[in-house]
Chains A and B, each alone.
Chain A
Amino acid sequence: MAERCAVIGIGQTVAKSKREDVSIAGLVREAALAALEDAGLTFADIDAVVVGKAPDMFEGVMMPELYLAPALGAVGKPMFRVHTAGSVGGSTAIVASHLVASGIHDRVLTVAFEKQSDSDAMWALSVPQPFSAPLLAGAGGYFAPIIRAYMYRSGAPRDIGMMVAVKDRLHALKNPYAHLHLPDISMKMVEDSIMLWDPLHYLESCPSSDGAAAMVIGSEKAAGAATAATGRPPAWIHGMAMRSEPTMFAGRDQVNPQAGRDCAADLYRQAGVTDPRADFDMAEVYVPFSWYEPMWLENLGFCAEGDGWKLTQAGATSMIEGGDIPWNCSGGVLSSNPIGASGMLRFLETALQVRGMAGEHQVPDARRALGQAYGGGSQFFAMWVVSADKP
């Protein structure tokens, strides 16, 4: 049987358009050292290092973990590299946690990053491949038709996406690590921004960020020792799940993918969650384009299919409006998007919340939270549940 495991240290960098002050190694080390300090540990205490990032072409370095080994204190240790598209930050945290849950290691450092300013993600996503339709519009161009299908199916009003864009940016104002701080954000400001891919305005899209995230995953023993040393509580992991499905085939539901629903069902079974809206105190969910909030509300079972937009519209997901199920209190992917780290930031933020360490964007008395990341053509899913309570 799997051993108990917990997040015992958390670190992240400020997300920015360009971190010209640091190399890639400097960027990941900044997050790693912060996580170690939070856990009251040093590199010497770490058994293994698990690194995740999105396609290597985003920086132009093939398998950069090889070069990063000394910067992350991995020399002489096992070092592991995960890549599962946009979900990778979440998958990386899960792979690291399994190294502890399986009883193999006591303390694992996991780090995810992207230094997008070193290259051009749009270019890297659009390299022509033989016998494949070119994706010259980047991720937004890919997802916009799926969003239009959602609007058609659900009858959602056109301003729902803009509401998410405003809400997440208001949340971001409470998070000092967020890339975008837009104090004047308003529905009008979003509507007046340029239309990129109908119905997505510029301000309904995620930014392109440099940033890194890190966590220390510890065994029950390591969690006890960390708390004794630092006085800070762990975030216990109650469930982890990953699911994948093919990019395309006739009959695939890209709006409400089966892989996401199956992943959530497996996760909720592990964590004993029966009514996600009632059982979770908050959620950090991968919403790189505004409309993915109502879509994932349905996919994750927070409401019936077709009703996601109604929760957004009613303010249920807004911390500012006192909603009952605040989503993306950190500002989410819409406010910071170092792609490889974006999934881990979702997972990391849930752990911050149940440890009561989220600062200004802390949800009062948050005890159980859901982290979700997705990638590819809405086909790779990684999720976890963390809690203040030991499983």
Chain B
Amino acid sequence: MAYFKKSPWLIHYDGSSCNGCDIEVLACLTPLYDVERFGIINTGNPKHADIFLVTGSVNQQNVDIIRNIYNQMPEPKVVIAAGICACSGGIFAECYNVMGGIDKVIPVDVYVQGCAVRPEAIIDGVVKALAILEERYARAKAA
């Protein structure tokens, strides 16, 4: 039996954004949404994390940071792009320094829409990501 569904630890990174999605991610930790009910912990350390939750788009400044965090996470791992900027670059897509959505740099498993993304939508996205995480673990075990 895999335990990823019961104990997903995530790391959050906010790229080039207005910080609206950033605030909504933190709102998930407040008493109103309380994601610790599901065992979700915001670790702040890529080596401890199962889920990489990115808000905001990629630009020339943070592309290396995003790659670095992703590469430091041990398998199995999933990536969630939360908010329209993380999905496609959003309102910043045309900017000279913005490269676009997170999927331009690292493979993204779940896209969560919204501007800013709603806490309920983030939690739904994490639940979707957990199914992928379990599947990945089962595949790695079988191999």
Q: Do A and B come from one complex?
A: no
